[in-house]
Amino acid sequence: MNKIEPTHLQRRALIYVRQSSMTQVRNNLESQKLQYDLEKRAKVLGWKQPVVVDEDLGKSASSGAERSGFQFLLEEVCAGSVGAIFAVEASRLSRCGSEWHSLLEFCAIVGTLIIDPQAIYDPRLMDDRFLLGLKGTMSEMEVNMLRARTRSASLEKAGRGELYVHATTGFIILPGNRRVKDPNKRTQRAIETVFETFEKEQTIGKTTRRLRERKLEIPLSTSKDGNKTIQWRLPQYSTIRGILTNPAYAGAYVYGRTHRQIEIHNGVKVIKTKTVALEDAQVFLKDHHEGYISWQQFESIQQTLQNNRNTGNDSAHRGAPRQGAALLAGMLRCGGCGCQLVVRYYGDNGCKAAYFCNRSSKIAGEQRCLYCSSGQIDEQVEKKLLEVISPLGVSAALAAYSKAESKVKRLEEQYRLRLEQNRYEAQRAQRQYDLSDPENRLVTSELEKRWNHALEQIAESENELERIRAENIPLNEEQTLQLKRLGEDFSQAWNHPEASIEIKKRIVRIVIEEIVVSKQEETMRLMIHWKGGDHTELTFPRKRCGSKTDDRVLEILEELRGVLTNEELAKVLNDEKLTTGTGRMWTAKRVGTFARKNKKLRAPRDSQETLTIEQAAHHLGISAQELRKLVAQRKVKAHRICASAPLIVDARGLATPTTKRAIAALKENTAFQQNLDL
């Protein structure tokens, strides 16, 4: 029975070629050749120009959504433009039952044949459909069985701590699957320097920048054709983060920390990878091998990285210590609702800060619990902090100097090891050059270039080593005594000009867990929770809004409000060189806000009782110049609150007999002068 009909030959033939991985693509060339040879079989069967679909080389057949070639094949079949599909076996097309049977269903509807090297199948025929379905089921079961066996064996080996996908930089795998430190001293010192630098800088970004400034290279393990090599490069952010978050450097073995999660998006299966906590990993073995740091140090690093996360309004993280003026940023919690207080910077270049509860922005309609300047709270906590830690100043100063001196020695050792390796590379390049044939210039020129490059590396390493030694000269006796005096008077060290706000913030975070702030009617209450479990309560008077503003501002506003506009009031205050409580110039908006919020300010005067010279002159029917003459002659009473303010006339004083006679005489004199002019 000839299953190939003329209608099949009138449509295209698709040759589907696939291999499961790039390793198979590179190495299993015979299998690849066998699949491409199906094009010859298609021509023998009558198709003149078969189309090869090989976009899926190196892709697994477990999911069609990830294979553009398989998707193209399905689209062409559904369009009715494919007469036959050629594949070496069913597993080449799909190892997923649902996709395989969907393909068979579409082929049966449009009459597309499926052809392999052994037979021709027509999915419209019951027997052929049965054989194809059986082949697809066996292919799917085969891959699942192989996967289950491999998975079981991997878990068994991982449970003993002997399964390694790749060797972590800084370690090597010995016979018997034992992980030990890399015997290369330079590699060891480089890894240790990363942890030491992070201990000082406390953030990944600063650690990376500091290492790059010192031109300290980090080893990276690379593998090509199964051969592992170490390359030395300047660190990147991702490299440092990978080292700091890898539990292998703390002596732990972890396997199965990432889980695959399948989701459906727009009708398409999507596989996502989820990372779980160390304790939830399938295999987690502490003290598995010798590490570069202890497990306690590793946990401390993870906590620091967690706190450094910048997550906006998320109250679970403090954020990394930065240059902002707020000493207690990320350390304060609202005593009313329990939310973490947020910092707002203002003033010139953000020189001032305020703490406030951000709960109102999260819950619509809620009133803000707390808003206060950072100065008073920081001052109270700073005073208590110095009182607590000053007795420990001397021992802390000596310990800090000893630790810094030890770090300098280790840093110098790393540069020395780098110089030693560069000298070895230069000697090897020289030996290769000496062994080459001098007449073969194609070879000797390249070897000479490598030798010169190695000599340049030696010179650079020597210069770096000398620079480190020059920058880190040991303290003399006078400097040591000065350090002890700073330790005895810790407040002097705290207020030293070179003591940055970042250092102060780190000290606060070392000794204080958090501070709960509560606002009373007239006082502020701080509950300091120290590391170790102790608590200290501080209570101090609240600073009301406007308490920092000059009293003259209140006097001027009480006198001129209702007479002048806010814009005119702002001009008067600025001309008098008076500023707001935060040191800013006055504007109409700030005058209005200050007047509205300040409870000490009396209500504005009635505009009918207090008049400017211009307003009073208009009211009396004379010119402002004439009224000023009457004021100068003391016939009309007027006063000025300050030099920049206008003259103010009390409307009630204009009704006195003396003032009325003076104004009447002025008007008569004015009328007489006008008659003379006529």
Predicted confidence at residue 65, as pLDDT, reads 54
Cα–Cα distance between 492 and 309 in angstroms, integer? Answer: 33
Domain ranges within the chain, ordered by starting residue: 6-155, 163-308, 316-543, 551-597, 610-677
Tell me the mean pLDDT in the region 546-559.
73
The dihedral built from the CA positions of residue 157, 159, 160 and 161, taken in this order, carries a sign that is: positive
Tell me the mean pLDDT in the region 494-506.
72
CA atoms within 13 A on the CB side of 176: 2
Residue 606 predicted with pLDDT over 60? no
Percentage above 90 pLDDT, the chain = 0
In a 10 Å sphere around its CB, with 0-12 CB exposed, 13-18 middle and 19+ buried, how is residue 600 labelled?
Answer: exposed
Q: Which of 76-80, 294-298, 669-673 has the lowest mean pLDDT?
A: 669-673
Predicted confidence at residue 567, as pLDDT, reads 87
CATH class of 163-308: alpha beta
Residue 78 predicted with pLDDT over 60? yes
- Tens of pLDDT, residue by residue over 460-473, are 877 777 777 666 65
Q: Which of 214-223, 510-519, 646-655 has the lowest mean pLDDT?
A: 646-655
Residue 392 predicted with pLDDT over 70? no
Confidence band of 486 (pLDDT split at 50, 70, 90): low
Nearest to 516 by CA among 545, 538, 533, 534: 538
CATH fold of 6-155, please? Rossmann fold (3.40.50)
* 20, 52, 54, 103, 115 from 36: Cα distances, Å: 16, 8, 9, 21, 14
Predicted confidence at residue 675, as pLDDT, reads 45
Instruction: Identify whether the C-beta of residue 132 lies closer than 8 Å to the C-beta of residue 94.
Output: no
Residue 126 predicted with pLDDT over 80? yes
Residue 484 predicted with pLDDT over 70? no
pTM over 0.85: no
Confidence band of 4 (pLDDT split at 50, 70, 90): confident
Instruction: Identify whether the C-beta of residue 594 lies closer than 8 Å to the C-beta of residue 549.
Output: yes
Residue 276 predicted with pLDDT over 60? yes
Q: Which of 269-273, 368-372, 456-460, 543-547 has the lowest mean pLDDT?
A: 543-547
Average pLDDT of the residues of the chain: 77
CA atoms within 13 A on the CB side of 54: 13
Predicted confidence at residue 546, as pLDDT, reads 44
Residue 672 predicted with pLDDT over 50? no
Predicted confidence at residue 492, as pLDDT, reads 64
Predicted confidence at residue 494, as pLDDT, reads 67
Which residue did the predictor score with more confidence, 481 or 85?
Answer: 85
Which residue did the predictor score with more confidence, 410 or 197?
Answer: 197
Confidence band of 313 (pLDDT split at 50, 70, 90): very low
Collapsing DSSP states into helix, strand and coil, what is residue 4? coil
In a 10 Å sphere around its CB, with 0-12 CB exposed, 13-18 middle and 19+ buried, how is residue 520 labelled?
Answer: exposed
Predicted confidence at residue 390, as pLDDT, reads 62
Question: Is CATH 1.10.287 the classification given to domain 610-677?
Answer: no
- Tens of pLDDT, residue by residue over 15-74, are 888 888 888 888 888 888 888 888 888 888 888 888 888 888 888 776 655 788 888 888
- Tens of pLDDT, residue by residue over 349-366, are 667 778 877 765 555 455
Tell me the mean pLDDT in the region 215-241.
79
Confidence band of 396 (pLDDT split at 50, 70, 90): low
Cα–Cα distance between 317 and 661 in angstroms, integer? Answer: 78
Confidence band of 264 (pLDDT split at 50, 70, 90): confident
Predicted confidence at residue 223, as pLDDT, reads 66
Confidence band of 547 (pLDDT split at 50, 70, 90): very low
Collapsing DSSP states into helix, strand and coil, what is residue 364? coil
Predicted confidence at residue 63, as pLDDT, reads 60
